[in-house]
């Protein structure tokens, strides 16, 4: 899904050649969605810790339940923060990469003060 969105992000560039700003913003949005879609599987739990779930740990049952609940809450919160943060970094970097490759020569100069704050 993520790679498909990254490939599809080239379509606005091809369709809106006369309006470079519009095509650039659409490319950025679609590319960031693709990068976010690729980051989601990185946050899904892997199977390498299944052994720990099958074996009995030497914890008090109440403490183990509390620890498990806290871990799940923290894991969900930080996974979402990581995905959103990485998408923001990608959204900020893509316009500068376009400018460096001379794809949108000077179209986004008026937005630079917002990007560098």
pLDDT digits (tens, 9 = 90+) for 11-28: 887 888 788 778 888 888
Our count of domains for the chain comes to 1
Which pTM was predicted? Answer: 0.50
Whether residue 52 contacts residue 102, with contact meaning beta carbons closer than 8 Å, is answered with no
Dump pLDDT digits (tens) for 50-78. Answer: 666 677 667 778 888 888 899 888 888 88
Nearest Cα to Cα of residue 26 among 109, 91, 72: 91
Query: For residue 117, is pLDDT > 50?
Result: no
Per-residue pLDDT, averaged over 80-89, amounts to 85
Share the mean pLDDT of the chain.
78
In which domain, by residue range, is 22 found? 2-115
């Amino acid at each position: 899904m993520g790679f498909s969105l990254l490939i599809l992000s080239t379509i606005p560039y091809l369709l809106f050649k006369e309006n470079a700003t519009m095509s650039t913003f659409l490319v950025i949005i679609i590319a960031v969605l693709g990068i976010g879609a690729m980051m989601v599987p990185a946050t899904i739990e892997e199977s390498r810790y299944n052994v720990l779930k099958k074996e009995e740990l030497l914890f008090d049952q109440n403490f183990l339940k509390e620890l498990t609940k806290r871990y799940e809450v923290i894991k969900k919160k930080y996974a979402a923060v990581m995905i959103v943060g990485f998408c923001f970094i990608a959204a900020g970097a893509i316009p500068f990469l376009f400018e460096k490759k001379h794809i949108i020569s000077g179209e986004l100069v008026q937005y630079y003060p917002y990007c560098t704050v």
